Amino acid sequence: MTITTKPKTVKNPDEAIVQKLINKGGSVAADTPVRSSQLTSVLLRIPADMLAQIDASVKRRHPVRISRQTWIIEALYARLVEEEKTANMI
């Protein structure tokens, strides 16, 4: 059994101080768009050998490693930029 001291009773705060704090109010959080609402989840099926190659490439990335998801998004983005350049040449 643990022996502790009797808790001290807290006096009720002065009503004027409480009202001053309530009336002071606070600021509302800024309305910033939530980035996750801009994202869409996609199920992607990749052959196992291709996934192993992606993982190997992710591991070779130095000095800062990135996630597999980031690697895939970067690759998709690079492909889209390349296709846009090709489309603009025609």
Q: Which residue, among 7, 15, 76, 8, has the nearest Cα to 44 in the 3D structure? A: 76
How far is residue 51's CA from residue 56's CA, in Å, rounded to a whole number?
9
Q: Residue 57: left if φ>0, alpha if ψ -120 to 50, beta else—which one?
A: alpha
Residue 27 inside a domain? The answer is no
CB 55, CB 68: distance < 8 Å: yes
pLDDT digits (tens, 9 = 90+) for 45-66: 999 999 999 999 999 987 888 9
Residue 59 inside a domain? The answer is yes
Residue 28 inside a domain? The answer is no
pTM of the prediction?
0.54
Residue 35 inside a domain? The answer is no
Domains in the chain, number: 1
CB 17, CB 9: distance < 8 Å: no
Q: Which residue, among 47, 53, 48, 90, has the nearest Cα to 75 in the 3D structure? A: 53
pLDDT digits (tens, 9 = 90+) for 1-13: 678 888 787 778 7
Instruction: For the chain, give the mean pLDDT.
Output: 85
Can you give the residue range of the structural domain that contains 77?
48-90
Residue 89 inside a domain? The answer is yes
Q: In the chain, pLDDT over 90 holds for what percent of residues?
A: 43
